[in-house]
Amino acid sequence: MSEAPTRIHCTIDLEAPGRRVGRLEVRHSDNRHAYGIIPVPIACIGGGRGPTVLVTAGNHGDEHEGRIIARRLVRELDPAQVRGRLIVMPALNYPAVLEDSRVSPLDGGNMNRAYPGDAGGTPTFAIAHYVESVLLPRCDAALDLHSGGKVSEYLPCAFLVESGDRDLMSAKLDAVKAFGAPVTTVVSATADPRSLSGAADRHGVVSLATELGGAGTVDLDALAVGEAGTRRWLAHVGLLKQEVASPAAATRFLRTRDRNDFVVAPMDGLFEPRVRLGDRVRARDIAGIVHPVDDPEREGVEVRFSSAGVVVCRRVPARTLRGDYLFHVGEPVEEESLRVSKESS
Ligand SMILES: [Zn+2]
């Protein structure tokens, strides 16, 4: 595949063996950066024959567990342990990471809605373009480490975007089983082709994401799920020469089907939840109460689940506006039901 021109300069040679740490230099001009560059960290470890594997974190700048995992890989992985090469971007939307913000303060860009990107676009779109047109065509597998961010919290999980391609879907299922998180959230209807997962699908790259906790903090349990899973996944894709000591436990698949699986605030107010992450709920169960913030004599409004399932994600701030999402659920499904049959592929 021919590479589209990029205005980004990478300061390290991605083809040379060893360990190299540098930056993508994104040229940008605004009131702060007259002729400046945005230095987006990048590292490459390995060399020789084998797979090319991409690990990204900081796709959203307020999601922290993955950034710690990615940084640790750069420092701890010995090139002698590696077959092929590992490319790590621990702060993918670097301007957003600097601001501890989901989206970039420079252009309002949500990196996970920016693919295939734009070489001549604003920084978020230029970085997305580099990933899609320069990095992904070189890759065999990709792992994009997310958490819930400041406003959301997830059951620590692997995150699988379904594919209609039988072989790609089968490879993705094998990848999440190797990752071995206690829970794998599966999405189809809510998946977006502008995401990094969508970009990976376009290039036939077997991709996997995570949602490791959230709430703008670092959760110890979620971090442990992510650290162990990432090492097992690196062994699974053939990057590590040695097997990983901790075996994968069986993962539980929870599938979010459509908008009925999301609970949305019907009015502005103060939200009192009535369920916790991981709870099993039935359709019509009460999710919580939205209390008006003004007149104490006004009753709060009950909010109910539309569909049954397990609560996989919750909104964190109690203050809500009409239309804010409050929870979403996933339906427990068997692995076999996620496989694409020959007829439908
Ligand atoms: Zn995210």
Give me ligand 1 centre to Cα 296, in Å: 37
55 within domain boundaries: yes
User: Ligand 1 centroid to 105 CA: how many Å?
Assistant: 16
Do residue 127 and residue 236 come from a single domain? yes
- Average pLDDT of span 137-164: 96
When pLDDT is averaged across residues 185-207 and rounded to a whole number, the result is: 89
- 41 C-alpha to center of ligand 1: Å? 18
Check whether residue 271 and residue 217 sit in a common domain.
no
Between the CA of 1 and the centroid of ligand 1 the distance, in Å, is: 29
121 Cα–ligand 1 center, Å = 21
**189 pLDDT exceeds 60?**
no
Q: Is the pLDDT of residue 4 over 70?
A: no
Look up the CATH number of the domain holding residue 310.
Answer: 2.40.50.100
- The rounded distance, in Å, linking the Cα atoms of 277 and 270 is 19
The CA 112 to ligand 1 mean position distance, Å, reads 7
- Residues 143-155 have a mean pLDDT of 97
Q: Evaluate if residue 1 carries a pLDDT over 50.
A: no
**What separation in Å is there between the alpha carbon of 341 and the centre of ligand 1?**
30
Residue 204 lies in a domain: yes
Is 189 inside any structural domain?
Answer: yes
Mean pLDDT of 14-24: 96
Domain of residue 16 covers 8-255
Query: What CATH code is carried by the domain that includes residue 98?
Result: 3.40.630.10
> In angstroms, rounded to a whole number, what is the distance separating the alpha carbons of residues 224 and 216?
17
Say yes or no: 186 and 234 in one domain.
yes
Q: Are both 103 and 239 inside the same structural domain?
A: yes
- How far, in Å, is the centroid of ligand 1 from the Cα of 307? 24
Beta-carbon contacts of 230 under 8 Å, excluding residues fewer than 6 positions away, are 55, 69, 73, 143, 145, 179
Tell me: do 238 and 207 sit in the same domain. yes
Distance 80 CA to ligand 1 centre (A): 32
Mean pLDDT of 126-153: 97
Q: Domain count of the chain?
A: 2
Are 131 and 28 contained in the same domain?
yes
Q: Is the pLDDT confidence value at 230 over 80?
A: yes
Q: What is the distance in A from the centroid of ligand 1 to the CA of 151? A: 11
Distance between Cα 66 and ligand 1 center (Å): 10
Instruction: Name which of 104-118, 178-192, 278-292 the model is least confident about.
Output: 178-192
> Residue 48 above 80 pLDDT?
yes
What separation in Å is there between the alpha carbon of 149 and the centre of ligand 1? Answer: 6
Each residue of 234-270: b (16+ CB within 10 Å) or e? bbbbebbeeebeeebeebbbbbbbeeebbbbbeeebe
48 lies in a domain?
yes
67 pLDDT tier (thresholds 50, 70, 90): very high
Residue 3 is assigned to a structural domain of this protein: no
> Is residue 341 one of the residues assigned to a domain?
no
Residues 149 and 283 in one domain: no
Average pLDDT over residues 99-121: 96
Q: Give the Å distance between the CA of 298 and the centre of ligand 1.
A: 37
Q: What is the mean pLDDT of residues 110-133?
A: 96
Residue that terminates a domain, selected from 218, 240, 255: 255
How many angstroms is it from 236 CA to the middle of ligand 1? 24
Q: How far is the CA of 230 from the centre of ligand 1 (A)?
A: 17
Q: How many angstroms does the Cα of residue 110 sit away from the middle of ligand 1?
A: 9
Neighbouring CB atoms inside 10 A of 280's CB total 12
Distance from Cα 269 to the centre of ligand 1, integer Å:
26
| pLDDT beyond 80 at 304 | yes
Whether 190 has a pLDDT exceeding 70, the answer reads no
The predicted model gives 286-292 an average pLDDT of 98
CB 129, CB 156: distance < 8 Å? no
Q: Which two tokens stand for residue 278?
A: 């991981």
Cα–Cα distance measured from residue 157 to residue 145, given in angstroms and rounded to the nearest whole number: 10
Residues 18 and 167 in one domain: yes
CA of 189 to the centre of ligand 1 (A): 17
Write down the mean pLDDT value for the chain. Answer: 94
Task: Provide the pLDDT confidence category of residue 9 given band limits of 50, 70 and 90.
Answer: very high
> What's the CA-to-centroid distance between 60 and ligand 1, angstroms?
5
Q: Is the pLDDT of residue 244 over 60?
A: yes
Do 222 and 274 have their domain in common? no
Residue 35: Cβ-neighbour burial (10 angstroms; 0-12, 13-18, 19+): exposed
pLDDT at position 3 = 52
Ligand 1 centre to CA of 146 (Å) is 4
- Is pLDDT of 2 > 70? no
Q: Which of 29-38, 207-216, 250-259, 265-274 has the lowest mean pLDDT?
A: 29-38
**The domain boundary residue, chosen from 212, 235, 255:** 255
pLDDT band at 249; cut points 50, 70, 90: confident
Which range, of 149-163, 176-190, 195-209, 273-287, averages the lowest pLDDT? 176-190
pLDDT of residue 242 exceeding 70, the answer is yes
Q: Which of 193, 225, 255 is the last residue of a domain?
A: 255
